[in-house]
Amino acid sequence: MATGLVPASVLHISSCTTCRRAQQDLPELLRKCGACKYALYCRRCQDADRKRHKAECQAIRSGAAQAPNIPGLVELEPSPGTGAHARRLAAQAAQLARTTARFSNSSVPIPHTPTRIPSANSLLDPAASPADYLSSLPPAMAYRQIIDAFRLRTEDEYVFNLQNIGVYAREDPTGLFKEFLDLAEKSGVLPVWWTAEKRGEVQRLSQEKAGGSYLHHAIERSDVIEEYGGDTVMPLKLRALGEKVYGRAVHADQGVKGF
């Protein structure tokens, strides 16, 4: 999904900012920039116009320029029941099954038996061990959330601080993700069963296009909610993980160095 783009309810007369294709001629809803809430894009054009739109976006957000008043634009969470939604969930389930099977065949045993449903409490409680939350998850889910915590943090830095790095600069984010894992290992937030082999599994999973944790695809809050089955607390959990890794939350104009 586009960096900083959110689903938009659009009129049939609306069209893509770049290619001008009308909504009625597109198979999916146009998406608008999550920062300025104005520019509309089809999936094909969202990356191509990012560099040009950056200055315009910043001007609209700062008040130096006024966005045209386009009727019919309101933010909506993606609604389940669509074909695209079903296909995404099916791909996700298949990927999770493959990942779980691979972990089960791993030569290194995983000393983990889930005994409760994990919550955000262990992430937000300063008295809790940093590793408690991820240690409470099944390995496949922990791996997925580690990757998605990085993806959402990168999205937040782009939206709030206009940091164009990784997928937002049309660059390979693999190096930045490895740095994220280095910091995560030092922070103590990773599961108690974490090993070099497990890190390798996470890195391999992040490069697999099938499923919902492909490192080269941007992600935003609405994606997180959809891909985690409507869990509206999941963005908070992922952001809390990112905060524990980097030692600070995202604040406008205070981006992480390198972000």
User: Does position 13 have pLDDT exceeding 80, yes or no?
Assistant: no
Residue with more model confidence, 174 or 44: 174
Please give the mean pLDDT across all residues of the chain. Answer: 74
Query: How much is the pLDDT for 170?
Result: 84
* Res. 213 pLDDT band, cuts 50 70 90: confident
Report the DSSP beta bridge partners of residue 8. 75
40-41, strands of its sheet edge to edge? 40-41, 31-33, 5-9, 74-75
Mean pLDDT of 47-63: 74
C-alpha to C-alpha distance for 135 and 137, rounded to whole angstroms: 6
Q: What is the pLDDT of residues 72-124, one digit of tens each?
A: 333 333 345 556 556 555 655 565 555 555 555 554 444 333 333 344 556 66
